[in-house]
Every structure is written in structure tokens, then in C-alpha cells.
Amino acid sequence: MKVLKNIQILEDKCVGCQACLGACPYGAIYMEGKKAKIDYDKCTLCGSCISKCKFEAIKIEKKAGFKSAVSLEEAKGVWVLAEQKNNKVQSVSYELLNKGRELADDLRVELTAILLGSDIKEEAQCLIHRGADKVIIIEDTILNHYQSGTYSAVIAEIIKKYKPEIILSGATTIGRSLVPRLAIKLNTGLTADCTALEIDKEKKLLLQTRPAFGGNIMATIMCQNHRPQMATVRHKVFAEAIEDQKRKGEIIEEKPSSELLCSDIILKDIVEEIEETINITEADIIVAAGRGVGTKENLSIIEELAKALDGAVAASRSIVDAGWIPYSHQVGQTGRTVCPKLYIACGISGQIQHLVGMQSSDVIIAINKNPDAPIFKVANYGVVGDLFKIIPALIKRIQSSSK
Amino acid sequence: MLNIVVCIKQVPDTTDVKIDPKTNTLIREGVESIMNPFDRYAVEEALRLKEQHEGKITVLTMGPPQAESILREAISMGVDEGVLLSDRAFAGSDTWATSYTLASGIKALGEFDIIICGKQAADGDTAQVGPGISVHLNIPQLTYVKKVEKLENDLITVERLIEEGYEVIESKLPCLMTVVKEINEPRIPSLKGMMRSKKAEIKKLSASDLDVKAEYLGLDGSPTQVVKIFSPPHRQKGEMLEGEVSDIAEKLFSVIKEIK
């Protein structure tokens, strides 16, 4: 096999400090004598080691293999892909406008939102009130409901026409199905599920930070030679832009090529399934239950607390697997990632698989019998005790205040 | 006869990947490489479709030579054939180059009806490779599938998870779907399956076996680049509440009131 040495350790610079060994997620660096060496069979060129070397002894050579559909020179402006369901702009879009405004101001460029659907002009106005300078709307009945093939074809065409330098989308089921398609169609890069975004002042590039390895490490990613730089952004990480009804902006109506307005799939039905209270990804307050609640019947106490707080009910994997509550409530690695203002973990021990789905919540309260439960390591407030005593007392306290 | 291709990935067992709080580096000792947990559901769904409709299942992975072990594991579950795309030229691939390489591998295998992928890989968590493959192959994409309702006459009807519940959608074959955990319960390999997987021949393809352009491969074919890696900000040390139940309830109530 031909060995491509895109990565090299510069022996004259390597001091043998071994910092890079620990940085490699693949165990591809080893010591030979007093110098670090790369195991080329294991190295995936992920780049994790580069920033860990204080002596600039590790070099990765990278060429831009292909060109993006939008050229570096022409790309200008920040875009937000707004999301609508039942003709209502979703709150994640307002979060994107807040961050997008900041990025656009840093770059001194315009902020544009794009919205697809039918009969959406009024909603387009809401996007202007929340910070967009321009809104591009594309109206057709076929665009009423999200569909991967049609949406990606139509949006790719508009992007090629207007050539933005940055595109933000929600890391929702729509965003995470749509934007990967745009990345391939436009020959450009995409970073998934970002939790921090900023402009590198010198290079004028978008620094995209996201959790990886189940949230155990954070990585900052750049897309240097391709445009637009695209990111999907985790819901609830950024605050919504504040509404200003006096704000003025321009609404541009675009008509896509007619051959794009067809669909390769048929939507037969939409079934709304969240039974109790609200959708966990949208909730500001989540009350979550784990095995510590004991039985399916005991879940009623969790539901009652959620109701008293206008919150949603979530669950650990074990009680979903036990069939006590539907999968759509599961938080964690194999379930959903949530980011509410308050997460109350009741009888959840806090295995790492659960923690990765909720540890970016603003405030975490944990109630558990076991003082050594790992959930207490991430909790702002911990209570070691019997949830069947504490929760009813808390519900009573909440109810007495609302009377 | 259905031709099913399942794309799988070898990942470090992320539950073991931890950061040493003193040195701020990854602790790798004892971290095993495993089949991406979501891919097990993809393999299982392929096996179920084959049981109902007959056909052939090929598992495909791109990775270093040792990624062969997850192909054997899939064979032990009942998959017919394993194909490994391995070449130094593929190293450093982001999701763009990975989806290009896998799509090229699928084309090299010949005819296919359904491509199945896990929802996302547990190391990168991007969920971008499945959709990327479908664009490269120019076939419809069905993401977050939680149930296959019907498959007949080259039409597939699935339920796909969305935030509010699920959608029921119908697509023509060939298509690509990514599956979530709810879709099934993956089987344990049988003893016979394990014996077969040991002897099975793994087909190995390098860049020169594929109809690919070098500029779309590996690091050069990857628009994104990791520039920094660090441990997540530690949550500040929490406060443990003690005392009578009523005192605790009062304190929790004041915390909640401040948030609301």
C-alpha cells in the first residue's frame, strides 16, 4: 500500500513531551526514542493532535481538492434557513437570526433569511422583525411541507444565484436532513450540531464549535477554501432574537425553475404523537424519569410535576426500553439531545449515554437515592433522598404559590 | 430479490473516551473499537427485509484494515457479504469525502435497491454521510426511519421520526434510508453465524478499484478541517441540598422560580 504522509512530525521541533499522544482519539501516535511517531495504519488525519502541540512539530498538508459552486471571491452575506411548520416560523429560526445578526455585523454584511412554503408573506415579515435585512421567499403548494429532494434542489439553485458566504440552519430533523444534501450539491463543507459560532477576526472565517465523541470532547472546525461555510446549530443553545415590529427590511419573491417543483416521495400522513404536555426538544423545562421511579404507574408523579411547571416529560433509556413511555421521550445518546433552561432528573443515575443528551441544559436538578450517582457530577443542585417524598412536597409548594 | 447495502462504521466506544482532568487529554487506555451502535439497527432491518422479501445483503465500510472486524460481526448476524474500502488515500475524509467514497463503493458493487445506514455515527454524531450518499447516487433519501410499513412493487412506505411525532412517506426504489433505534431490536449472532463469519472472505477495495477522482478523496476532498480540540467546560461544582423535605422543596421552588 502506498503511504501518503500528509501528516508528519518534524523531528527537529518535537521535544518528546507526549502531549500529542493523549490528544489522539485513535491511538495513532507512539514514542520511538524521545520523538513522537505516527502510526499511519491508525491515523485518520483528524487533526486532533495539531493544536495540542505547543512546538508546532506536527504538520498536516492539505490541498483544496475541488472547487465549491460558490467561489471564495464572490461569496458575501450571512444566510439563515428559516423553518416553518403549518405556516408558522419555528422558534429555532429566531435563534439563528440572533446569532446570524451577530456574525453579519462582525463581517459588516447583510443578514438574509430564506423561507419556503405557501402563503408565507406574513411570516416573512416576522423574520424581518427579528433581525433579517432581507427575506427571500419561495412559494408553491408543493413546498408546504418539508421534503428533502424538493427543498434541497430549490434552495441549492437560489444559493448559486445569490452566493452567500455563511449559511446557518437548525440542527433539527429538517436541518439535519436538508443541509447535508446542500453540502454535496454545492461542493462545500458542513459542520453538524454546532453549539458555538464566531468569526475569526483575522481570517474572516467562521469558527464552528461542536461536541464530538458523545460530548466528551469539543472540536472547533473551519471551512477555509469552500463557500458557503455551512453549519447546523443545536436548538435552544442561542437565545431568540428580540422582536422589533418597527424594523424594516426587503422581501424578495423568487421563482425556482419549474422542473425542480416535483417530488420523489409522497407524504401520506403526519401523526402527532407526543402524548403528555409538550415536545421535549422545544421545552424550557424538562422533568425526566429514570429507573428510580420504580414502576410505570409511578410515572404519574413525574407527569404531575411537569404539568405544574408547564414542562415536558423526558425519560432515560432504561424506562423507554421497558416500555413505560414512548421512544420520542428518550434523552441521551440513542435518543434526543435537549438543552432546556431547567432539567430535573428524577431517579436517573446518569450514565454517560444519558449525560451527553442533557448536560448542556442551563440548570440541572438531580434527585436520587444513591449519593454516588454520576448525575450529581453535572447537577447544579443535588438532592440525595426519596423522590416520592420530595416531588409531592415540591408540587404542593408550586401549587400553593399559584393560588 | 432485493439487493440491500448496509453502510457501517467502526468507532471508538465513546462511553469509554474520557478526558484526563489533570492533563486535559483523552484517556485511551482500554477504549475498544466497536460497530457504531446505530448501525446494528441498520443491519437488523436489512436482515428483516431479506427474511420477508428474499435477497442479498452486503455490508460496506470505509476504514483502516482493522475495520474488517465489524464486517465479520455483521456477517455473524446473518449478512451475506462484507466489503472493506481501505486505502491511505481515504484518510482524513470528512463527511463530504466519506459519502463520495462510500457512494463510489456502492456503484462498484453493481445493482442495489435499498441502502440502509444508522442515523449517525457515535464518534462524530454528524448524521451527514447517509444523506450525502443519497445525493451522490441521485436516489431519494428517507432519514430517521422508525418503521418500514410496507415494501412492494418497488415502493417502500416508512414512518420517519420528526419532533412532533412521525410522518408516513412513500418512496420509489432504489432509495436510501437512515434508521433510529426504535425500528427494531438487533439480534445476537448465532453460533453458526459466528463460525461462518470467521471463514468468510472479506472483499477489499482500494481507490484504484473504484471509479473515483483523487481530488474528491481523503483530506484533500474534505472541505472542513478540525482546527482545535478541547475538553468541554466543566460544570461548576453543584450544591447538595440537605435537611427536612419541606426545606428542600422550598429551596427547589426558589431555584425554579428564578428560572421561570
Write the pLDDT tens digit of every residue in A108-147.
999 999 999 999 999 999 999 999 999 999 999 999 999 9
Q: Does A43 score more than 90 pLDDT?
A: no
Confidence of residue A64 (pLDDT cuts 50, 70, 90): confident
Q: Does B17 score more than 60 pLDDT?
A: yes
Q: Write the pLDDT tens digit of every residue in A300-341.
A: 999 999 999 999 999 999 999 899 998 889 999 888 889 999
In a domain, A255, yes or no: yes
What is the mean predicted confidence (pLDDT) over A227-244? Answer: 95
What is the per-residue burial (b if ≥16 Cβ within 10 Å, else e) of A244-277? eeeeebebeeeebeeebbebbbeeeebeebbeeb
Q: Write the pLDDT tens digit of every residue in A345-357.
A: 999 999 888 988 8
In a domain, A1, yes or no: no
The verdict on A376 and A231 lying in the same domain is: no
* Interface A-B: count of C-beta contacts within 8 A: 345
- Average predicted confidence (pLDDT) for chain A: 92
Q: Which of B24-38, B129-143, B171-185 has the lowest mean pLDDT?
A: B24-38
Task: Say yes or no: A307 contacts chain B, CB-CB below 8 A.
Answer: no
The verdict on A83 and A51 lying in the same domain is: no
- As a whole number of angstroms, the distance between CA A335 and CA B146 comes to 12
What is the mean predicted confidence (pLDDT) over B141-162? Answer: 96
Q: Does A48 score more than 70 pLDDT?
A: yes
pLDDT of the residue at A369: 95
What is the mean predicted confidence (pLDDT) over B199-212? Answer: 97
Smallest CA–CA distance, residue B245 to chain A, in Å, is: 6
User: Which residue from B minimizes the CA distance to A285?
Assistant: B260
Longest dimension (CA), chain A: 76
What is the sign, positive or negative, of the torsion defined by CA atoms of B234, A46, B131, A256? Answer: positive
- As a whole number of angstroms, the distance between CA A227 and CA A159 comes to 10
The verdict on A98 and A227 lying in the same domain is: yes
Smallest CA–CA distance, residue A244 to chain B, in Å, is: 23
Hey, which residues 12-71 in chain A have their CB within 8 Å of chain B?
19, 21-27, 40-48, 50-52, 60, 62-66, 68
User: Which residue from B minimizes the CA distance to A206?
Assistant: B224
Answer for the pair B151, B53: CB distance below 8 angstroms, yes or no.
yes
pLDDT of the residue at A326: 87
Count of CA atoms in the C-beta half-sphere (13 A) of A274: 20
Residues of A in contact with B28 (CB under 8 A): 22, 24-25, 27
In a domain, A279, yes or no: no
pLDDT of the residue at A1: 34
Q: Does B184 score more than 80 pLDDT?
A: yes
The verdict on A92 and A233 lying in the same domain is: yes
The verdict on A55 and A95 lying in the same domain is: no
Q: Does A396 score more than 60 pLDDT?
A: yes
**Is B169–A266 a contact, with Cβ atoms under 8 angstroms apart?**
yes
More confident residue, B44 or A6: B44
pLDDT of the residue at A2: 40
What is the per-residue burial (b if ≥16 Cβ within 10 Å, else e) of A18-54? bbbbbbbbbbbbeeeeeebebebebbbbbbbbbbbbe
- As a whole number of angstroms, the distance between CA A195 and CA A209 comes to 6
**Is A65–B64 a contact, with Cβ atoms under 8 angstroms apart?**
no
Q: Does A40 score more than 60 pLDDT?
A: yes
Q: Does A25 score more than 90 pLDDT?
A: no
Hey, which residues 109-138 in chain A have their CB within 8 Å of chain B?
none
Residues of B in contact with A221 (CB under 8 A): 224-227
**Is A327–B99 a contact, with Cβ atoms under 8 angstroms apart?**
no
In a domain, A278, yes or no: no
Domain ranges in chain B are: 2-224
More confident residue, A253 or B88: A253
Answer for the pair B60, B83: CB distance below 8 angstroms, yes or no.
yes
pLDDT of the residue at B32: 81
Q: Write the pLDDT tens digit of every residue in A51-63.
A: 788 898 998 887 8
In a domain, A266, yes or no: no
- Average predicted confidence (pLDDT) for chain B: 92
Chain centre distance of CA A143: 24
User: Which residue from B minimizes the CA distance to A341?
Assistant: B259
**Is A381–B253 a contact, with Cβ atoms under 8 angstroms apart?**
no
**For residue A259, what are the contacts with CB-CB under 8 A and spacing of at least 6?**
none
The phi, psi pair for A285, rounded to 5°, reads: -125, 130
pLDDT of the residue at A20: 87
Residues of B in contact with A24 (CB under 8 A): 26, 28
The verdict on A234 and A304 lying in the same domain is: no
Q: What grid cell was written down for A221?
A: 472546525
Q: Which of A55-59, A83-87, A99-103, A177-181 has the lowest mean pLDDT?
A: A55-59
Answer for the pair B3, B113: CB distance below 8 angstroms, yes or no.
yes
Q: Which of A84-88, A215-219, A286-290, A339-343 has the lowest mean pLDDT?
A: A215-219
pLDDT of the residue at B230: 80
Best mutation target among B9, B14, B24, B62 (most A Cβ atoms within 10 Å) is B14
What's at B39, amino acid-wise?
D
Residues of B in contact with A220 (CB under 8 A): 226-230
Residues of B in contact with A27 (CB under 8 A): 28, 31
pLDDT of the residue at B167: 95
The verdict on A230 and A291 lying in the same domain is: no
Q: Which CATH superfamily is domain B2-224 in?
A: HUPs (3.40.50.620)
Domain of A158? 78-260
In a domain, A207, yes or no: yes
pLDDT of the residue at B20: 61
Q: Per the structure, how many domains does chain A have?
A: 3
The verdict on A99 and A50 lying in the same domain is: no
Q: Does A26 score more than 50 pLDDT?
A: yes
The verdict on A99 and A211 lying in the same domain is: yes
Nearest to A249 by CA among A115, A80, A98, A111: A111
Nearest-CB residue to B15 (from A44, A172, A353)? A353
The verdict on A237 and A107 lying in the same domain is: yes
In a domain, A146, yes or no: yes
The phi, psi pair for A39, rounded to 5°, reads: -90, 100
In a domain, A354, yes or no: yes
Best mutation target among B102, B153, B168, B219 (most A Cβ atoms within 10 Å) is B219
Tell me how far apart the terminal alpha carbons of chain B are, to the nearest angstrom: 58
Q: Does B236 score more than 80 pLDDT?
A: no
